[in-house]
């Protein structure tokens, strides 16, 4: 006797036991006889009927031998049934999940292509699944717990809390870009000594920013390429509401550092300092990351600041900058002797004298804006 497989496949949402029961009745076997042929007790067969007992791979193989229907069919029937039960259980949670998800910058995720343009036309279940897929999370409950655990070392500009939902989204965007880069471009194994040498090179390269023919975007691309040559991924990712005060974050992926910069402040000296600050976390803290949500000067943050300041302009040059009547020419002279961009020296001068908004002279500082990269741009994309 042949079983109508096409008819059975249309009943995938019902308990697999119902299909077994149909077969038994159709074959004119008694429950006892079928149980004996299957090699299980009558009680076990009853539990299979009700769906109280799952069809294991072993049971699926036995069913295939007794019914003549391949084991994969029975296994799929079981899998589909369990997924249907899971969907039913989750239906009551979907609205609560979606209310929580609305706290994230969904519009920005759609705008940047991380969620489909027609995302909001999908069913609630599909929206939740797409959202969780972006974050590589198994459930909203798991994600909520994840958010309560600090993981990032970040440089912020003001003592304000970054919106944790926006921050997590911005970082995850950077993660996706970094993953794509690592898939498309084989990178060497990260080595700390090579990284330190590369930092010295990009520090010296910054002096080119004093040349009229060299712009900040060219420097940022050169910096990125140099870092990749020593196994470090650098991502330039435009900020959005909720992460306006975050300049940069470092995290580790596949045993290599990933530095994500927002280009916040737009000026070359601030962007470069932010990069070296995050590099400081790589050198001094390794994979032990801590996100500082209020810009507190913890030991790690002070250490990263000191690393950046020392790498960019050694302390021995501060004597010349501490004089009361420092003129622009002194800034240029120190920059030339230190082989570093004059805007960095100027920034140190401002720091030493506290002249953040008002100075007694002006120094030409290069800047960059996302609009100059492209009206719709949100990342300096890889060529």
| pLDDT tens by residue, 358-381 | 455 556 678 888 877 776 788 876
∠ CA 41-44-50 to the nearest 5 degrees?
Answer: 145
Does residue 120 carry a pLDDT above 60? yes
pLDDT at 9: 39
pLDDT at 244: 85
Is the pLDDT higher at 351 or at 272? 272
CA–CA distance, 132 with 115 (Å, rounded to integer): 11
Cβ neighbors of 37 (< 8 A, separation 6 or more) are 29, 66
- Confidence at 135, pLDDT banded by 50, 70, 90: very high
CA–CA distance, 190 with 194 (Å, rounded to integer): 8
| pLDDT tens by residue, 30-49 | 999 999 999 999 999 999 99
CA–CA distance, 380 with 223 (Å, rounded to integer): 12
- Confidence at 170, pLDDT banded by 50, 70, 90: very high
pLDDT at 155: 65
pLDDT at 364: 65
| pLDDT tens by residue, 181-190 | 999 888 999 9
Does residue 173 carry a pLDDT above 80? yes
Does residue 136 carry a pLDDT above 60? yes
CA–CA distance, 162 with 290 (Å, rounded to integer): 14
Mean predicted confidence (pLDDT) in 39-64: 92
Name, of 2-16, 144-158, 295-309, the range with top average pLDDT: 295-309
Does residue 294 carry a pLDDT above 70? no
| pLDDT tens by residue, 73-107 | 999 999 988 888 877 767 678 888 999 999 999 99
Q: Taking all residues of the chain, what is their mean pLDDT, rounded to a whole number?
A: 85
CATH number belonging to the domain at 5-86, selected among 1.10.260.40, 3.40.50.300, 1.10.10.10, 1.20.1260.10:
1.10.260.40
pLDDT at 105: 96
- Confidence at 356, pLDDT banded by 50, 70, 90: low
Among 249, 256, 307, residue whose Cα is nearest residue 286: 256
Domain ranges of the chain: 5-86, 102-147, 153-373
Alpha-carbon distances of 82 from 16, 44, 101, 108, 151, rounded to whole Å: 10, 18, 26, 35, 35
pLDDT at 258: 95
Query: Could you tell me the strand order of the sheet in which 233-236 lies?
Result: 153-156, 246-253, 256-261, 233-236
CA–CA distance, 22 with 325 (Å, rounded to integer): 96
- Confidence at 284, pLDDT banded by 50, 70, 90: confident
Alpha-carbon distances of 325 from 219, 257, 331, 345, 361, rounded to whole Å: 32, 42, 12, 15, 10
CA–CA distance, 380 with 378 (Å, rounded to integer): 7
Does residue 269 carry a pLDDT above 80? yes
| pLDDT tens by residue, 10-20 | 333 578 889 99
Mean predicted confidence (pLDDT) in 232-253: 91
- Confidence at 330, pLDDT banded by 50, 70, 90: confident
């Amino acid at each position: 006797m042949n079983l109508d497989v096409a008819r059975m496949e249309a009943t995938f949402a019902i308990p697999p036991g119902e299909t077994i029961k149909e077969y038994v009745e159709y074959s004119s076997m008694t429950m006892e006889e079928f149980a004996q042929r299957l090699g299980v007790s009558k009680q076990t067969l009853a539990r299979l009927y009700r769906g109280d007992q799952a069809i294991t791979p072993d049971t699926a193989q036995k069913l295939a031998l007794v019914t003549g229907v391949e084991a994969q069919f029975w296994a799929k029937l079981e899998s589909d049934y369990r997924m249907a039960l899971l969907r039913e259980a989750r239906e009551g949670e979907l609205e609560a999940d979606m209310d929580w998800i609305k706290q994230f910058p969904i519009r920005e995720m759609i705008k940047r292509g991380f969620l489909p343009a027609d995302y909001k036309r999908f069913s609630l279940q599909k929206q939740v699944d797409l959202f969780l897929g972006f974050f590589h999370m198994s459930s909203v409950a798991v994600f909520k717990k994840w958010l309560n655990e600090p993981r990032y070392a970040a440089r912020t500009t003001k003592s304000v809390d970054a919106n944790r939902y926006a921050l997590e989204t911005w970082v995850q965007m950077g993660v996706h870009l970094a993953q794509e880069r690592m898939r498309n471009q084989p990178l060497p194994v990260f080595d700390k000594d090579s990284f330190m040498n590369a930092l010295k090179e990009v520090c010296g390269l910054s002096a080119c920013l004093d040349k009229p023919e060299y712009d900040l975007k060219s420097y940022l691309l050169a910096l990125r390429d140099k870092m990749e040559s020593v196994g470090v991924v650098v991502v330039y990712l435009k900020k959005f509401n909720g992460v306006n005060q975050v300049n940069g974050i470092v995290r580790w992926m596949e045993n290599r550092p990933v530095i994500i910069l927002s280009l916040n402040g737009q000026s070359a000296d601030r962007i470069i300092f932010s990069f070296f600050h995050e590099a400081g976390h790589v050198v001094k803290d390794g994979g032990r990351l801590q996100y500082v949500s209020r810009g507190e000067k913890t030991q790690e943050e002070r250490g990263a600041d000191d690393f950046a300041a020392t790498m960019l302009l050694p302390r021995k040059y501060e004597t010349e900058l501490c004089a009361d009547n420092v003129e622009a020419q002194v800034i240029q002279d120190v920059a030339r002797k230190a082989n570093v961009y004059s805007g960095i020296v100027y920034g140190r001068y401002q720091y030493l004298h506290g002249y953040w908004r008002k100075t007694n002279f002006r120094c030409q500082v290069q800047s960059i804006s996302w609009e100059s990269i492209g009206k719709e741009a949100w990342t300096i994309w890889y060529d």
